[in-house]
Amino acid sequence: MANTGTDKSALMRVLVYSHDASVREQVRLAIGRRPAADLPKVEIVECATAPAVLKRLEETKVDVAIFDGEARPAGGMGLCRQVKDEIFECPPVLLIVGRRDDGWLAAWSRADKVVSHPIDPIALAESLAELMRERLRQLAITQ
């Protein structure tokens, strides 16, 4: 599903995890069709439970994941650490934390980027764009 970076007609798949549909909607609106003009369009895959995230990551090619650190009952921080340990070639993870002071927990989770609640659409889109660019560079190297 991913592409080589210059082909803007291809799609990149972004998984969004939160138990809260309004958080998933805020993320969807912040991303739009693509988080930056130089990137491919985004296909968003939404998950409301940790088991659904694990299943998707094992069965579907995901380019970048966005986890809500405040999700319940399984928080995004613990889930991030779990997928980094258990998923072969785990995609980069953007973690949304409850407070800026939770940065140390985000570091423990091994998240690749962190933004905080309330969701700043510009900060989220910029962080996602950085992760997508890095993912495209990684894919270009392995091809």
2 domain residue, yes or no: no
Please give the Cα distance from 25 to 20 (Å, whole number).
Answer: 9
4 domain residue, yes or no: no
1 domain residue, yes or no: no
Per-residue pLDDT of 109-124, as tens digits, reads: 999 999 999 999 999 9
Per-residue pLDDT of 58-99, as tens digits, reads: 999 999 999 999 999 999 999 999 999 999 989 999 999 988
Contact 79, 108 (CB under 8 A): no
56: domain range? 11-142
Q: What is the mean pLDDT of the chain?
A: 91
Residue that is written with structure tokens 């570091």 in the block:
107
71 domain residue, yes or no: yes
- pLDDT reported for residue 4: 43
Choose among 35, 33, 39: nearest CA to 6.
Answer: 39
Tell me the pTM.
0.91
Percent of the chain past pLDDT 90, that is, above it, reads: 81
Calculate the dihedral angle through the C-alpha atoms of 63, 64, 67, 73, rounding to the nearest 10 degrees. Answer: 20
What's the total number of domains in the chain?
Answer: 1
Q: Residue 67 corresponds to which amino acid?
A: F
5 domain residue, yes or no: no
Tokens of 92: 């980069």
For residue 18, what is the domain's CATH number? Answer: 3.40.50.2300
